[in-house]
Amino acid sequence: MLKGRSLIEPDNFSLEETESLFTLAEKIESDESYLRDSCRGKLLATLFFEPSTRTRLSFEAAILRLGGSCLGFADPGSSSAVKGESLADTVRMAASYADAIVMRSPKEGAALLASRYSLVPVLNAGDGGHHHPTQTLTDLFTIRRLRGEIKNLTVGFCGDLKFGRTVHSLAKALARYTNIRVIFISPEELVIPEYIASILQRQGIEFSETRNLEEAMPELDVLYMTRVQKERFFNEEDYIRLKDSFVLNTEKMAIGKDNLVVLHPLPRVNEIAVEVDADPRAAYFKQARYGMYARMALLAAILGVV
């Protein structure tokens, strides 16, 4: 069903296709021998023009656990891009060696452009401040595992909502589910982009904005924390002024629901205090592991081994 398909934006796959990936990921999680060696002989190219730890390593772990192999670069300085090679030529080259490509770029639209030049599936691992659909699969799968289903939820997004591609992707994806309510929590300078708000409006999703995390906490079923991203700012003074706008600590956790789920795409800087890690509602490290299972399911599907 998904064999040979690229994933550039969250809605490239239907809701039914997305849910089928989650069912597959649950099978893999429950039995790690399931699909072992199913991708033997398959090769994944990882093209990371921007730093990454979790996304890159989880994709590499996913293909290796499926019995496949990977090649690529984690630093554009080690690629021919420094010599002036175009993205199109880099992608054509990688597609001639590999069965699928995972790519991260600081430029919006780069993944879509890559998919137009690639003869193999392209998976968007983040393109600037635009989208990060495989992180969205991770986030949705985590919510499903910890809440049982993805519906009838109030979800809070806190922090950098202007540049946060994980926020944009997840908000867009949640708009397809039943009875979802969203609260956006950010400083005035980092509010959610208008195009995301428009998508929620068209889908009939109730949403509101606040500048106060404590005000929103008692209402939330899921809290999605994000860091203020230094690399997205042109002015360091603005970054310094805003980076400590919202910090989740034990005092704020105390006014949250008993079954609250706290997520974070990571890395964190100081927006979640370390003492919160001991709270059973803090799920961001579980989220990282669930991401590996979600990416294993995705790779198995697009490579056509299931």
Which sequence positions are flagged as catalytic? 54-55, 83, 104, 132
> Residues 196, 232: contact at Cβ < 8 Å?
no
**How many whole angstroms from its chain centre is CA 4?**
21
How many Cβ atoms are within 10 Å of 202's Cβ, its own excluded?
Answer: 9
Pairing of strands 69-73, 122-127: unpaired
Distance CA 171, CA 176 (A): 9
Backbone angles phi, psi at 277, to 5 degrees: -55, -30
> Residues 174, 200: contact at Cβ < 8 Å?
no
Distance CA 284, CA 286 (A): 5
**How many whole angstroms from its chain centre is CA 234?**
24
